[in-house]
Amino acid sequence: MGHKYEPLVLAQLLPQLAEEIARRLAEDAEGAEFAPQVPTLRILSRCGCKEPGCASFTTGARRSGKHPTPVRTIALFSTRRGMSDIIIDVVEGKIVNVEILDRTDIAAVLDEAFAKLRAGTA
């Protein structure tokens, strides 16, 4: 058998970010119903855009094909200095993508975690 794939749990890898996302969702009229999902979100893949500071990641599958499922986008704008806007995509009631730009600190944690996963040492 090959390497066992252990998905990365957002709340374990980036607990402060998970808290931040959950708090901002809870405070958002549209996002509040999705806040309870945050503790169980798994980081499935990184955004492939290679933009410096892009810390976006997927947490679920977006169905493609003939009938692509509609995506609901929830923008959580930052009201604090030093905090980025966070854009959440929801498909069929599940958070499938988290977009975070200009956060090299988070991007570095994700880079390291995925490098370990690829090396099989996570």
Summarize as ranges the residues that interact with Zn ion (CB under 5 A): 47, 49, 51, 54, 56
**Nearer to Zn ion by C-beta: 3 or 62?**
62
Shortest distance, position 13 Cβ to Zn ion, whole Å: 18
Beta-carbon neighbour count of residue 46 at 10 Å?
17
**Nearer to Zn ion by C-beta: 42 or 46?**
46
Shortest distance, position 100 Cβ to Zn ion, whole Å: 9
**Nearer to Zn ion by C-beta: 2 or 52?**
52
Shortest distance, position 56 Cβ to Zn ion, whole Å: 4
Shortest distance, position 1 Cβ to Zn ion, whole Å: 33
Per the structure block, which two tokens stand in for 39? 């503790």
Q: Which residues contact 86 (CB under 8 A, 6 or more apart)?
A: 20, 21, 24, 75, 76, 78, 98, 99, 100
**Nearer to Zn ion by C-beta: 40 or 45?**
45
